[in-house]
Amino acid sequence: MQHRKLGSASLEVSALGLGCMGLSHGYGPATDRSEAVALIRAAAEQGVTLFDTAEVYGPYLNEEVVGEALAPIRDKVVIATKFGFTFGDDNKQQILNSRPEHIRTAVEGSLRRLRTDVIDLLYQHRVDPEVPIEDVAGTVKALIAEGKVKHFGLSEAGAQTIRRAHAVQPVTALQSEYSLWWREPEKEIIPTLAELGIGFIPFSPLGKGFLTGAITADAAFAADDFRSIVPRFSTEALRANQGLVSALKKIADEKGATPAQIALAWLLAQAPCIVPIPGTTKLHRLKENIGAADIALADTELNAINTALAQIKIQGDRYPDSLKARVGR
């Protein structure tokens, strides 16, 4: 597994990380704990060093699983987690909260669940419009000075927010959605990151599973699967977007790879500071995803991919209306 540096920071990680959310949250029932621990450890054995989690995944359960899995090799891996929410009495309602005192409370909880004395990369999960980003960055700066955090990150933040935060405490990485079917970051976010020397961690690099080709036009999602409320996964949108998968599969067949591997290899080719974090609950998918790090796409192949995809108009929003306001602030 090759390694990459996140922007101009000193943080070096594997070219592909592991997004751990789906093991506990978002896509149906949580994976059996022993199986989840085994999968995370298998990723580490295959060269993955960046593991992404958050207190909201569960809530709390995912951090506990990640902490248990990585405790024996803590000094060999990079753990990224996130703060930014409080939860209702049923632990289901997510309420934005990045007040400085809450950040400190959240960090103490994360340290305990992750079984560590320092968080390698701490993200603000979503921008809180009620708290100036300078206050957020200042709080994380103090936590870094205290030795509880090593690096500061933002998630789904807008370009101006990134600049304001970076002026207070250098931002090591931005985590936002980016893939062959969501290329909005190319307009303003990626140029801003390049200018400031900030790494980019794309989540949902496989389009929440769609780019693997395993989701058909007639797919149905359970009520506890986040995709059940995402417009892009409606029957109409899935049917309209199948052309993207067909084009990707054709390119993959020519390369002797899978659609998922081409989607990940394409992301890796966009910039040397991009580190996708595909998630999975299956060991064979983990191996498949990791194999993408060994696929080099020539300029002619990248041009062919861009040409093919430019002819396809993606249908459906990536978030329901209730969540749109939380991104791009």
Q: pLDDT category, 226, cuts 50, 70, 90?
A: very high
Residue with tokens 């989840």: 36
- Which domains are assigned to the chain? 3-208+270-295 (3.20.20.100)
Q: What's the average model confidence in pLDDT over 207-218?
A: 95
pLDDT the model gives residue 13: 98
Annotated active-site residue 57? The verdict is: yes
Least confident of 84-93, 206-215, 220-229, 279-288: 84-93
Of 27, 57, 60, 123, the active-site residue reads 57
pLDDT the model gives residue 44: 98
Q: pLDDT category, 91, cuts 50, 70, 90?
A: confident
Smallest CA-to-CA distance from 182 within 31, 309, 12 is with 309
Q: What is the largest CA-CA distance in the chain?
A: 54
* Mean of per-residue pLDDT scores for the chain: 96
pLDDT the model gives residue 309: 86
Q: What's the average model confidence in pLDDT over 177-190?
A: 97
Is 49's pLDDT higher than 80?
yes
H-helix or E-strand containing 155?
Answer: strand 149-155
Is 90's pLDDT higher than 80?
no
pLDDT the model gives residue 89: 79
CA separation, residue 272 to residues 2, 16, 36, 48, 52 (Å): 11, 12, 30, 17, 19
Is 9's pLDDT higher than 90?
no
Residue with tokens 């980019």: 200
Determine how β-strand 12-14 pairs with β-strand 85-87: unpaired
pLDDT the model gives residue 153: 98
pTM of the entire structure? 0.97
Q: What's the average model confidence in pLDDT over 191-217?
A: 97
d(C-alpha 17, C-alpha 202), whole Å: 10
pLDDT the model gives residue 112: 98
Structure tokens at 224: 């506890």
CA separation, residue 106 to residues 45, 78, 123, 148, 297 (Å): 30, 19, 11, 12, 41
Is 16's pLDDT higher than 80?
yes
pLDDT the model gives residue 102: 98
pLDDT the model gives residue 37: 98
Q: What's the average model confidence in pLDDT over 73-100?
A: 93
pLDDT tens digits for 240-295?
Answer: 999 999 999 999 999 999 999 999 999 999 999 999 999 999 999 999 999 999 99
Percent of the chain having pLDDT more than 70? Answer: 100
pLDDT tens digits for 20-45?
Answer: 999 999 999 999 999 999 999 999 99
